[in-house]
Structure 1
Amino acid sequence: MSVVRMAVQLMLVGIYLEFLFSIDSLWINLAWIAVMLVVGASTIVGKAKLPRKPLFFPVLGGLVFGLAPVLLFLFWMVVQPEPVHSAQYVIPLAGMLLGNSLSGNIVALQNLYSAFEDRREEYEVAIALGAPAEYATLPFVRTAMQKALAPILASMAASGLVTLPGMMTGQILGGASPILAIKYQILILIAIFVVMTISVTLTLKFSLRRSINSQGRVLIKMK
Protein backbone atom coordinates (compact mmCIF):
# COMPACT_ATOMS: atom_id res chain seq x y z
CA MET A 1 0.00 0.00 0.00
CA SER A 2 2.83 2.38 0.85
CA VAL A 3 4.46 1.68 -2.51
CA VAL A 4 1.23 2.47 -4.35
CA ARG A 5 0.74 5.66 -2.35
CA MET A 6 4.32 6.73 -3.04
CA ALA A 7 3.94 6.11 -6.77
CA VAL A 8 0.65 8.01 -6.98
CA GLN A 9 1.99 10.95 -4.98
CA LEU A 10 5.11 11.23 -7.11
CA MET A 11 3.11 11.04 -10.34
CA LEU A 12 0.79 13.80 -9.16
CA VAL A 13 3.72 15.93 -8.03
CA GLY A 14 5.41 15.37 -11.39
CA ILE A 15 2.33 16.59 -13.23
CA TYR A 16 2.07 19.61 -10.95
CA LEU A 17 5.76 20.43 -11.37
CA GLU A 18 5.30 20.41 -15.14
CA PHE A 19 2.57 22.99 -14.59
CA LEU A 20 4.78 25.08 -12.30
CA PHE A 21 7.70 24.99 -14.72
CA SER A 22 5.51 26.09 -17.62
CA ILE A 23 4.12 29.09 -15.71
CA ASP A 24 7.37 29.95 -13.87
CA SER A 25 5.74 32.62 -11.70
CA LEU A 26 7.55 34.11 -8.72
CA TRP A 27 4.40 34.24 -6.61
CA ILE A 28 3.32 30.70 -7.43
CA ASN A 29 6.81 29.45 -6.62
CA LEU A 30 6.75 31.26 -3.28
CA ALA A 31 3.27 29.91 -2.56
CA TRP A 32 4.46 26.36 -3.24
CA ILE A 33 7.47 26.82 -0.95
CA ALA A 34 5.11 28.16 1.72
CA VAL A 35 2.98 25.02 1.37
CA MET A 36 6.11 22.88 1.70
CA LEU A 37 7.10 24.74 4.86
CA VAL A 38 3.65 24.42 6.43
CA VAL A 39 3.41 20.71 5.64
CA GLY A 40 6.97 20.20 6.86
CA ALA A 41 6.33 21.93 10.19
CA SER A 42 3.12 19.98 10.72
CA THR A 43 4.90 16.73 9.90
CA ILE A 44 7.74 17.44 12.31
CA VAL A 45 5.44 18.19 15.23
CA GLY A 46 3.23 15.21 14.46
CA LYS A 47 6.08 12.71 14.08
CA ALA A 48 7.70 14.02 17.26
CA LYS A 49 4.40 13.22 19.05
CA LEU A 50 4.00 16.73 20.38
CA PRO A 51 0.92 18.99 20.48
CA ARG A 52 0.58 20.94 17.24
CA LYS A 53 -1.14 24.06 18.53
CA PRO A 54 1.64 25.45 20.75
CA LEU A 55 4.60 24.18 18.71
CA PHE A 56 3.56 24.56 15.07
CA PHE A 57 4.69 28.16 14.70
CA PRO A 58 7.98 27.73 16.61
CA VAL A 59 8.87 24.83 14.31
CA LEU A 60 7.70 26.73 11.24
CA GLY A 61 9.86 29.68 12.27
CA GLY A 62 12.89 27.43 12.60
CA LEU A 63 12.35 26.02 9.12
CA VAL A 64 11.80 29.43 7.52
CA PHE A 65 14.87 31.05 9.06
CA GLY A 66 16.94 27.97 8.31
CA LEU A 67 15.90 27.64 4.67
CA ALA A 68 15.57 31.24 3.50
CA PRO A 69 19.15 32.55 3.87
CA VAL A 70 20.76 29.44 2.41
CA LEU A 71 18.33 29.32 -0.51
CA LEU A 72 18.88 33.02 -1.26
CA PHE A 73 22.66 32.56 -1.11
CA LEU A 74 22.54 29.62 -3.51
CA PHE A 75 20.44 31.52 -6.04
CA TRP A 76 22.14 34.90 -5.87
CA MET A 77 25.75 33.78 -5.49
CA VAL A 78 26.09 30.24 -6.85
CA VAL A 79 23.43 28.91 -9.23
CA GLN A 80 22.35 32.32 -10.61
CA PRO A 81 19.49 31.04 -12.79
CA GLU A 82 17.76 33.24 -15.34
CA PRO A 83 15.28 34.35 -14.14
CA VAL A 84 16.42 34.12 -10.53
CA HIS A 85 13.05 32.68 -9.44
CA SER A 86 13.15 29.90 -12.04
CA ALA A 87 10.88 27.10 -10.83
CA GLN A 88 13.21 24.52 -12.39
CA TYR A 89 15.77 25.38 -9.71
CA VAL A 90 13.76 26.92 -6.86
CA ILE A 91 11.35 24.05 -6.22
CA PRO A 92 13.80 21.10 -6.39
CA LEU A 93 16.47 22.84 -4.31
CA ALA A 94 14.00 24.06 -1.69
CA GLY A 95 12.51 20.58 -1.49
CA MET A 96 15.92 18.95 -1.17
CA LEU A 97 17.06 21.28 1.61
CA LEU A 98 13.77 21.21 3.47
CA GLY A 99 13.22 17.48 3.11
CA ASN A 100 16.60 16.65 4.57
CA SER A 101 15.92 18.92 7.55
CA LEU A 102 12.74 17.16 8.63
CA SER A 103 14.36 14.13 10.23
CA GLY A 104 16.88 16.24 12.14
CA ASN A 105 14.16 18.43 13.62
CA ILE A 106 12.05 15.42 14.57
CA VAL A 107 14.96 13.74 16.35
CA ALA A 108 15.89 16.98 18.12
CA LEU A 109 12.38 17.60 19.46
CA GLN A 110 11.90 13.99 20.50
CA ASN A 111 15.15 14.00 22.45
CA LEU A 112 14.50 17.37 24.05
CA TYR A 113 11.05 16.55 25.38
CA SER A 114 12.04 13.01 26.32
CA ALA A 115 14.81 14.52 28.43
CA PHE A 116 12.27 16.59 30.34
CA GLU A 117 10.60 13.33 31.38
CA ASP A 118 13.65 11.10 31.83
CA ARG A 119 15.82 13.72 33.56
CA ARG A 120 13.12 15.68 35.33
CA GLU A 121 14.89 15.70 38.69
CA GLU A 122 18.06 17.12 37.16
CA TYR A 123 16.09 19.95 35.59
CA GLU A 124 14.00 20.67 38.69
CA VAL A 125 17.07 20.77 40.93
CA ALA A 126 18.73 23.29 38.62
CA ILE A 127 15.60 25.47 38.65
CA ALA A 128 15.27 25.16 42.43
CA LEU A 129 18.85 26.35 42.85
CA GLY A 130 18.00 29.50 40.92
CA ALA A 131 19.33 28.61 37.49
CA PRO A 132 17.52 30.29 34.58
CA ALA A 133 15.57 27.97 32.31
CA GLU A 134 18.02 28.48 29.45
CA TYR A 135 20.89 27.24 31.60
CA ALA A 136 18.90 24.37 33.11
CA THR A 137 17.90 23.09 29.67
CA LEU A 138 21.35 23.52 28.10
CA PRO A 139 22.44 19.86 28.62
CA PHE A 140 19.18 18.69 27.04
CA VAL A 141 19.62 21.01 24.07
CA ARG A 142 23.20 19.88 23.52
CA THR A 143 22.20 16.22 23.52
CA ALA A 144 19.28 16.90 21.19
CA MET A 145 21.54 18.79 18.78
CA GLN A 146 24.17 16.06 18.78
CA LYS A 147 21.67 13.31 18.05
CA ALA A 148 19.90 15.38 15.40
CA LEU A 149 23.08 16.18 13.48
CA ALA A 150 24.79 12.80 13.89
CA PRO A 151 23.17 11.18 10.81
CA ILE A 152 24.04 14.00 8.39
CA LEU A 153 27.60 14.14 9.73
CA ALA A 154 27.95 10.38 9.26
CA SER A 155 26.50 10.65 5.76
CA MET A 156 28.94 13.41 4.85
CA ALA A 157 31.87 11.42 6.21
CA ALA A 158 30.90 8.34 4.18
CA SER A 159 30.02 10.15 0.94
CA GLY A 160 31.98 8.84 -2.00
CA LEU A 161 33.51 5.96 -0.05
CA VAL A 162 30.50 4.03 1.20
CA THR A 163 27.71 5.63 -0.84
CA LEU A 164 27.32 7.82 -3.89
CA PRO A 165 24.87 10.64 -3.08
CA GLY A 166 21.70 10.84 -5.15
CA MET A 167 22.30 14.20 -6.81
CA MET A 168 25.81 13.25 -7.87
CA THR A 169 24.63 9.89 -9.21
CA GLY A 170 21.79 11.52 -11.13
CA GLN A 171 24.11 14.03 -12.78
CA ILE A 172 26.60 11.35 -13.77
CA LEU A 173 23.83 9.18 -15.23
CA GLY A 174 22.62 12.28 -17.08
CA GLY A 175 26.01 12.63 -18.75
CA ALA A 176 27.65 15.28 -16.57
CA SER A 177 31.35 15.18 -15.76
CA PRO A 178 32.06 13.36 -12.47
CA ILE A 179 34.16 16.33 -11.30
CA LEU A 180 31.31 18.75 -11.97
CA ALA A 181 28.84 16.39 -10.29
CA ILE A 182 31.09 16.15 -7.24
CA LYS A 183 31.35 19.95 -6.99
CA TYR A 184 27.58 20.32 -6.96
CA GLN A 185 27.19 17.46 -4.50
CA ILE A 186 29.67 19.05 -2.09
CA LEU A 187 27.75 22.31 -2.34
CA ILE A 188 24.41 20.61 -1.68
CA LEU A 189 25.70 18.57 1.27
CA ILE A 190 27.13 21.69 2.90
CA ALA A 191 23.88 23.56 2.23
CA ILE A 192 21.83 20.72 3.75
CA PHE A 193 24.06 20.68 6.82
CA VAL A 194 23.79 24.46 7.28
CA VAL A 195 20.00 24.47 6.85
CA MET A 196 19.62 21.59 9.27
CA THR A 197 21.92 23.17 11.86
CA ILE A 198 20.16 26.54 11.75
CA SER A 199 16.65 25.09 11.67
CA VAL A 200 17.27 22.63 14.51
CA THR A 201 18.91 25.30 16.66
CA LEU A 202 16.08 27.78 16.13
CA THR A 203 13.36 25.16 16.44
CA LEU A 204 14.68 24.13 19.84
CA LYS A 205 15.07 27.75 20.93
CA PHE A 206 11.61 28.82 19.80
CA SER A 207 9.98 25.67 21.17
CA LEU A 208 11.52 26.13 24.60
CA ARG A 209 10.12 29.66 24.77
CA ARG A 210 6.63 28.25 24.28
CA SER A 211 7.19 25.28 26.56
CA ILE A 212 8.49 26.83 29.78
CA ASN A 213 6.78 29.54 31.82
CA SER A 214 8.42 32.27 33.87
CA GLN A 215 8.66 29.97 36.92
CA GLY A 216 10.53 27.33 34.94
CA ARG A 217 7.62 24.93 34.73
CA VAL A 218 7.48 22.75 31.60
CA LEU A 219 4.06 23.19 30.01
CA ILE A 220 4.31 20.75 27.10
CA LYS A 221 4.72 16.99 27.21
CA MET A 222 4.99 14.29 24.58
CA LYS A 223 1.78 12.45 23.75
Structure 2
Amino acid sequence: MNAAKRREIFARFATANPHPATELEYTTPFELLVAVVLSAQATDKSVNLATRALFPHANTPAALLALGQAGLEKYVQRIGLYKSKARHLIKTCQILLARHNGEVPATRAALEALPGVGRKTANVILNTAFGEAVMAVDTHIFRVANRIPLAPGKTVLEVEHRLMKNIPREYLQDAHHWLILHGRYTCKARKPDCPHCLIADLCEYPQKTAG
Protein backbone atom coordinates (compact mmCIF):
# COMPACT_ATOMS: atom_id res chain seq x y z
CA MET A 1 0.00 0.00 0.00
CA ASN A 2 1.45 3.34 -1.04
CA ALA A 3 1.81 6.47 1.07
CA ALA A 4 -1.01 8.33 -0.69
CA LYS A 5 -3.50 5.58 0.17
CA ARG A 6 -2.33 5.44 3.76
CA ARG A 7 -2.78 9.18 4.15
CA GLU A 8 -6.26 9.10 2.62
CA ILE A 9 -7.31 6.25 4.93
CA PHE A 10 -6.50 8.28 8.03
CA ALA A 11 -7.90 11.47 6.56
CA ARG A 12 -11.23 9.68 6.20
CA PHE A 13 -11.04 8.26 9.71
CA ALA A 14 -10.34 11.75 11.04
CA THR A 15 -13.26 13.28 9.15
CA ALA A 16 -15.68 10.59 10.29
CA ASN A 17 -14.48 10.55 13.91
CA PRO A 18 -12.39 13.62 14.80
CA HIS A 19 -11.98 12.74 18.48
CA PRO A 20 -11.78 8.96 18.87
CA ALA A 21 -11.51 7.54 22.36
CA THR A 22 -11.22 4.24 24.15
CA GLU A 23 -14.47 2.51 25.03
CA LEU A 24 -13.10 1.73 28.48
CA GLU A 25 -14.60 4.03 31.11
CA TYR A 26 -12.14 5.95 33.29
CA THR A 27 -11.47 9.39 34.74
CA THR A 28 -7.84 9.15 35.92
CA PRO A 29 -4.65 7.46 34.68
CA PHE A 30 -4.95 4.95 37.53
CA GLU A 31 -8.51 4.03 36.61
CA LEU A 32 -7.36 3.58 33.01
CA LEU A 33 -4.48 1.37 34.14
CA VAL A 34 -6.86 -0.83 36.14
CA ALA A 35 -9.31 -1.05 33.25
CA VAL A 36 -6.64 -1.94 30.69
CA VAL A 37 -5.15 -4.64 32.90
CA LEU A 38 -8.62 -6.10 33.38
CA SER A 39 -9.37 -5.92 29.64
CA ALA A 40 -6.79 -8.51 28.59
CA GLN A 41 -8.73 -11.34 26.91
CA ALA A 42 -11.98 -9.68 28.00
CA THR A 43 -14.46 -7.30 26.41
CA ASP A 44 -14.54 -3.61 27.22
CA LYS A 45 -18.23 -4.06 28.08
CA SER A 46 -17.47 -6.62 30.78
CA VAL A 47 -14.68 -4.46 32.19
CA ASN A 48 -16.91 -1.39 32.31
CA LEU A 49 -19.60 -3.32 34.18
CA ALA A 50 -17.03 -4.31 36.79
CA THR A 51 -15.36 -0.91 37.16
CA ARG A 52 -18.69 0.91 37.45
CA ALA A 53 -19.15 -1.00 40.69
CA LEU A 54 -15.49 -0.95 41.73
CA PHE A 55 -14.38 2.65 41.18
CA PRO A 56 -16.94 4.35 43.46
CA HIS A 57 -15.44 2.29 46.30
CA ALA A 58 -11.80 2.08 45.27
CA ASN A 59 -10.18 4.14 42.51
CA THR A 60 -6.76 4.89 43.99
CA PRO A 61 -3.80 2.59 44.71
CA ALA A 62 -4.31 2.96 48.46
CA ALA A 63 -8.03 2.23 48.30
CA LEU A 64 -7.57 -0.76 46.00
CA LEU A 65 -4.82 -2.10 48.23
CA ALA A 66 -7.12 -1.74 51.23
CA LEU A 67 -9.63 -4.02 49.53
CA GLY A 68 -7.07 -6.79 49.36
CA GLN A 69 -6.98 -9.44 46.67
CA ALA A 70 -10.08 -11.24 47.92
CA GLY A 71 -12.04 -8.00 48.12
CA LEU A 72 -10.99 -6.97 44.62
CA GLU A 73 -11.88 -10.38 43.23
CA LYS A 74 -15.50 -9.89 44.30
CA TYR A 75 -15.77 -6.92 41.91
CA VAL A 76 -14.01 -8.53 38.94
CA GLN A 77 -14.98 -12.19 39.23
CA ARG A 78 -17.01 -12.16 36.01
CA ILE A 79 -13.96 -11.14 33.99
CA GLY A 80 -11.73 -13.83 32.52
CA LEU A 81 -8.53 -14.62 34.44
CA TYR A 82 -9.83 -12.47 37.28
CA LYS A 83 -7.73 -14.09 40.00
CA SER A 84 -4.40 -13.42 38.31
CA LYS A 85 -5.52 -9.93 37.29
CA ALA A 86 -6.53 -9.11 40.85
CA ARG A 87 -3.19 -10.39 42.10
CA HIS A 88 -1.32 -8.27 39.57
CA LEU A 89 -3.32 -5.17 40.45
CA ILE A 90 -2.70 -5.54 44.17
CA LYS A 91 1.05 -5.89 43.54
CA THR A 92 0.90 -2.93 41.16
CA CYS A 93 -0.71 -0.78 43.85
CA GLN A 94 2.07 -1.71 46.25
CA ILE A 95 4.69 -0.64 43.72
CA LEU A 96 2.91 2.59 42.84
CA LEU A 97 2.76 3.58 46.49
CA ALA A 98 6.33 2.53 47.26
CA ARG A 99 8.08 3.89 44.18
CA HIS A 100 5.85 6.45 42.48
CA ASN A 101 4.02 8.31 45.27
CA GLY A 102 0.81 6.58 44.28
CA GLU A 103 0.91 7.99 40.74
CA VAL A 104 0.94 6.11 37.46
CA PRO A 105 4.38 6.57 35.89
CA ALA A 106 4.58 8.15 32.44
CA THR A 107 7.51 6.16 31.04
CA ARG A 108 7.44 2.85 29.21
CA ALA A 109 10.14 1.29 31.37
CA ALA A 110 8.36 2.11 34.63
CA LEU A 111 5.00 0.95 33.29
CA GLU A 112 6.37 -2.33 32.00
CA ALA A 113 7.91 -2.96 35.43
CA LEU A 114 4.38 -3.21 36.88
CA PRO A 115 2.88 -6.71 37.24
CA GLY A 116 0.49 -7.55 34.41
CA VAL A 117 1.65 -4.62 32.28
CA GLY A 118 3.29 -5.57 29.00
CA ARG A 119 4.23 -3.47 26.01
CA LYS A 120 0.68 -3.22 24.65
CA THR A 121 -0.79 -2.08 27.97
CA ALA A 122 2.04 0.39 28.47
CA ASN A 123 1.40 1.83 25.02
CA VAL A 124 -2.31 2.24 25.77
CA ILE A 125 -1.50 4.19 28.94
CA LEU A 126 1.15 6.31 27.25
CA ASN A 127 -1.18 7.13 24.36
CA THR A 128 -4.52 7.54 26.12
CA ALA A 129 -3.53 8.94 29.51
CA PHE A 130 -0.39 10.86 28.61
CA GLY A 131 -0.92 11.82 24.98
CA GLU A 132 2.11 10.10 23.47
CA ALA A 133 1.97 9.17 19.79
CA VAL A 134 2.55 5.44 20.27
CA MET A 135 0.78 2.40 18.89
CA ALA A 136 -0.73 -0.35 21.03
CA VAL A 137 -1.30 -3.35 18.76
CA ASP A 138 -4.14 -5.59 19.88
CA THR A 139 -5.82 -8.39 17.92
CA HIS A 140 -8.02 -5.94 15.99
CA ILE A 141 -5.13 -3.73 14.92
CA PHE A 142 -2.95 -6.73 14.06
CA ARG A 143 -5.72 -8.09 11.83
CA VAL A 144 -6.48 -4.79 10.08
CA ALA A 145 -2.81 -3.96 9.55
CA ASN A 146 -2.25 -7.29 7.82
CA ARG A 147 -5.55 -7.51 5.96
CA ILE A 148 -5.72 -4.08 4.33
CA PRO A 149 -2.59 -4.37 4.25
CA LEU A 150 -1.54 -1.17 6.00
CA ALA A 151 1.48 -2.55 7.83
CA PRO A 152 1.86 -6.30 7.35
CA GLY A 153 3.95 -8.26 9.82
CA LYS A 154 4.22 -11.69 11.39
CA THR A 155 4.53 -10.46 14.97
CA VAL A 156 2.82 -7.78 17.04
CA LEU A 157 6.10 -5.91 17.46
CA GLU A 158 6.79 -5.97 13.72
CA VAL A 159 3.33 -4.58 13.00
CA GLU A 160 3.78 -1.91 15.66
CA HIS A 161 7.07 -0.74 14.17
CA ARG A 162 5.64 -0.68 10.65
CA LEU A 163 2.58 1.26 11.75
CA MET A 164 4.77 3.82 13.50
CA LYS A 165 6.70 4.19 10.26
CA ASN A 166 3.77 4.11 7.84
CA ILE A 167 1.13 6.26 9.53
CA PRO A 168 1.45 9.99 8.71
CA ARG A 169 2.74 11.82 11.76
CA GLU A 170 -0.27 14.13 12.09
CA TYR A 171 -2.60 11.13 12.48
CA LEU A 172 -0.45 8.99 14.76
CA GLN A 173 -1.87 10.23 18.06
CA ASP A 174 -5.38 8.97 17.27
CA ALA A 175 -4.52 6.08 14.94
CA HIS A 176 -4.65 3.51 17.74
CA HIS A 177 -8.31 4.24 18.47
CA TRP A 178 -9.36 4.52 14.83
CA LEU A 179 -7.86 1.16 13.94
CA ILE A 180 -9.32 -0.61 16.98
CA LEU A 181 -12.80 0.73 16.27
CA HIS A 182 -12.46 -0.15 12.57
CA GLY A 183 -11.44 -3.70 13.42
CA ARG A 184 -14.08 -4.10 16.12
CA TYR A 185 -17.08 -2.86 14.14
CA THR A 186 -16.26 -2.99 10.41
CA CYS A 187 -13.20 -5.03 9.50
CA LYS A 188 -14.31 -7.88 11.76
CA ALA A 189 -12.48 -11.17 12.10
CA ARG A 190 -15.01 -13.62 10.72
CA LYS A 191 -16.54 -11.46 8.01
CA PRO A 192 -15.49 -7.89 7.23
CA ASP A 193 -18.36 -5.54 6.48
CA CYS A 194 -16.91 -4.29 3.21
CA PRO A 195 -20.17 -2.83 1.81
CA HIS A 196 -20.30 -0.38 4.73
CA CYS A 197 -16.57 0.26 4.98
CA LEU A 198 -15.33 3.83 4.89
CA ILE A 199 -12.11 2.84 3.14
CA ALA A 200 -13.24 -0.10 0.97
CA ASP A 201 -11.98 1.53 -2.23
CA LEU A 202 -8.55 2.05 -0.70
CA CYS A 203 -8.25 -1.37 0.94
CA GLU A 204 -6.25 -3.98 -0.98
CA TYR A 205 -7.78 -7.05 0.70
CA PRO A 206 -8.47 -9.47 -2.20
CA GLN A 207 -11.49 -11.20 -0.62
CA LYS A 208 -13.86 -8.30 -0.01
CA THR A 209 -17.39 -9.24 1.01
CA ALA A 210 -20.39 -8.25 -1.06
CA GLY A 211 -22.98 -8.16 1.65
The bucket for the TM-score relative to the shorter chain is under 0.3
More helix by share: 1
Higher RCO structure, 1 or 2 (CA under 8 Å, sep 6+): 1
TM-score (norm 2): 0.28
TM-score (norm 1): 0.27
Compare CA radii of gyration and give the structure with the larger one: 1
